[in-house]
Chains A and B, each alone.
Chain A
Amino acid sequence: MTDSTNQIPDRIRLSFVVNGTKRTLDLVPWTTLLDALRDHLGLTGTKKGCDHGQCGACTVLVDGRRINSCLTLAVMKDGAEITTVEGLAQDGTLHPLQQAFIDHDAFQCGYCTPGQLCSAAGLLSEGRAKDADEIRELMSGNLCRCGAYPNIVAAIQQTMSWP
C-alpha cells in the first residue's frame, strides 16, 4: 500500500501544557513545535533562526529538557509540559538567568537570547557544567552572531553561584 501524496491528512488533536496552561490544538502532522508555539499559540518569544537545528534560537524546555523546537513535530509532544522564554519569569520576578543576562549585558540584538536563556536553564538543571570551559562546550548549540559569548558565560556563571 502506498500513501497518496495528494491526500490531505486530517488534523490531529493534541494537548500540551505550555508555561503552566493546558493548550489544545488541531494541527496538520508536519507542524513543528516551533510553528505551533509561534503561529498557533502566539508565543513569539521563541525565535526561528535557521530552522535546521544549527543555531539554537528555537530552544525550549520539554518535560524539563532543552531541545530544538524547529526539529520537533508538535504531534509527537502530545501530553508534554513545555516551557518557553515567556514562562521563565514567575509572578513578575525575572528568572535569575534573565536578571544575570541584564547584569552582564549578555546580548546585543537579542534575537538569540530566548534560546540562550532556555538552553542555559536546561544546562543548570542538568548540573554537568562546573567551569567556564564546560559552560562554553555545553552551550555550543546556541549561536550568537553579535558575539556576546563572554558575557553570556559570565551571566551563567553568576547564576550557578546564585544562593
Chain B
Amino acid sequence: MINFQYSCASDVTEAIGLLAAHSGAKLIAGGTNLIDLMKESVEKPTRLIDISRLPLRQIEETGDGGLHIGALVPNSDLAYHPLIEERYPLLASAILAGASAQLRNMASVGGNLMQRTRCAYFYDTATPCNKRTPGSGCSAVDGLNRNHAILGTSAFCIATNPSDMSVALAALDAVVHIAGPSGERTMGMREFHRLPGDTPHVDTNLERSEIITAIELPPRGFAGNYSYLKIRDRVSYAFAIVSVAAALEFDGHAIRKARLALGGVAHKPWCSVEAEAALQGQPATTDHFARAADLLLQGARTYAHNGFKVELARRAVMRTLTQAANASPQSQAHKKIA
C-alpha cells in the first residue's frame, strides 16, 4: 500500500475546499475500488479526503414523484429500500447483480459511478496503458481483449465501464447532482461517463474539484415491465461480459415507452435513442426486439478475441426485452434464464 495523508471532511464545502487545495488528493467513501487500486499502485493519491461522514445518506421523495438518493447511501441499502423495490425494481436488480453482499454494504452510490475499469492491463503496472499512464499506449488493442469493449472504442483505449448500477441508472434516465467550487449543477446519467477518445484517463465529465452529492430518479420507474440480465463467466460475483437493462411501458399491446442500456460493451453504459424510438408504438414481438438490438449495436467494432460479444449482446437484448414484456424479470438469485 502507498503512503498518504488523511483528512476527514465535516461538510461538502470543506470536502470541495480540500480537493481544490491539494492537487494530488482524492475522495474516499466506501473505498472498495480505490483502496484496491492503491494497493496495486495504480492510484497514487497523496491525500485521501474521507467523505464517509458527510450527511448524504437520505433517500427522499421529490416534489414531482421521483426520488433523491444521497451519494453516500450504501449500494445494499439502496437495493433493499422499500421505495426502490416497489417503484424502481430494475435498479434494485442491477445493484444486486453486482459485486458481493460485503462490497455492496461498503460501496456508496457516488463511488459506484466513479469506479474504474477492470481491464487487466490497467491493473498491471508492468504494461502500457493510456488510462493509467497517458501516452504509454494500449496493451489491450492487440492483447487479450476478450472482455473488452465493442462500442465507442478508440485506438487509445478499449476498456469497459464495470458498473451494473450505472447501466440501470442510464436506462432510467437518472440525473447526477454535483457540487463544486463554482456551485451546484446536474448532469444526466447518459452524459456522466465519457467515451475514451484520445483522453481515456478521464472516465467522467466530473471536474476535478467536484463531488457527487446525489442521484435523482425521475418519476417513471417501469416497475411493471423490466429486466436486468447479466451474462458472465460465473453466475455470481463476476463482472459482466454483456449486461442489459430493459424497461417497457405498454399502451394496450403497443409499447408506449422503451428504455435500453448495455453494460460490459463500452467505456460507458451504452444507450441509443434510435433503438428506443424504434420500439415505440410497436407490439412486443421478436422482430421488433431484433430491430432494436441491431440499432443498439450499430457501429460495433470487434477485436481479436471479443467478436462473440456482438451476437451475445444481440441475443441478450432480445431475451431481456422478452423478459420485460412478459413481466418475468431475471432473478439475480435463481439463475435460470427465463
Give chain A's interface residues, CB within 8 Å of chain B.
1-5, 7-9, 12, 28-30, 32, 51-53, 56, 59, 65-68, 71-73, 75-76, 119, 122-123, 126, 128, 133-134, 136-142
Judge whether B21 and A53 touch: CB under 8 Å. no
Give chain B's interface residues, CB within 8 Å of chain A.
1-6, 8, 21-25, 28, 31-32, 35-36, 38-39, 46-48, 50, 52, 76, 80, 99-103, 105-106, 236-237, 332-335
Which B residue's beta carbon lies closest to that of A30?
Answer: B1
Judge whether A59 and B102 touch: CB under 8 Å. yes
Which B residue's beta carbon lies closest to that of A143?
Answer: B237
Which B residues touch A53, using CB under 8 A?
A: 32, 36, 102-103
Judge whether B2 and A71 touch: CB under 8 Å. no
Judge whether B5 and A67 touch: CB under 8 Å. no
- 22 pairs, CB–CB < 8 Å, chain A vs chain B: A1-B23, A3-B5, A3-B22, A3-B46, A8-B3, A9-B3, A9-B4, A29-B6, A30-B3, A30-B4, A68-B102, A68-B106, A71-B103, A72-B106, A73-B31, A122-B105, A123-B101, A126-B76, A137-B236, A138-B101, A141-B101, A141-B103
Judge whether B4 and A66 touch: CB under 8 Å. no
8 extra A-B contacts, CB within 8 A, seeds A52-B39, A141-B100, A142-B100: A2-B23, A3-B24, A8-B3, A28-B3, A52-B36, A56-B100, A68-B103, A73-B48
B124 to chain A, nearest CB (A): 14
Judge whether B32 and A71 touch: CB under 8 Å. yes
Which B residues touch A140, using CB under 8 A?
A: 100-101, 236-237
Which A residues touch B80, using CB under 8 A?
A: 128
B218 to chain A, nearest CB (A): 27
Judge whether B46 and A2 touch: CB under 8 Å. yes
Judge whether B101 and A126 touch: CB under 8 Å. yes
Which A residues touch B31, using CB under 8 A?
A: 71-73, 76
7 smallest CB-CB distances across A and B, nearest first, come from A141-B100, A29-B6, A140-B236, A3-B46, A140-B237, A137-B333, A134-B333
B224 to chain A, nearest CB (A): 23
Which B residue's beta carbon lies closest to that of A58?
Answer: B102
CA distance A28 to B2 in the complex (A): 11
Judge whether B6 and A12 touch: CB under 8 Å. yes
A79 to chain B, nearest CB (A): 10
Judge whether B48 and A67 touch: CB under 8 Å. no
Which B residues touch A142, using CB under 8 A?
A: 100
CA distance A52 to B1 in the complex (A): 11
A8 to chain B, nearest CB (A): 7
Judge whether B39 and A66 touch: CB under 8 Å. no
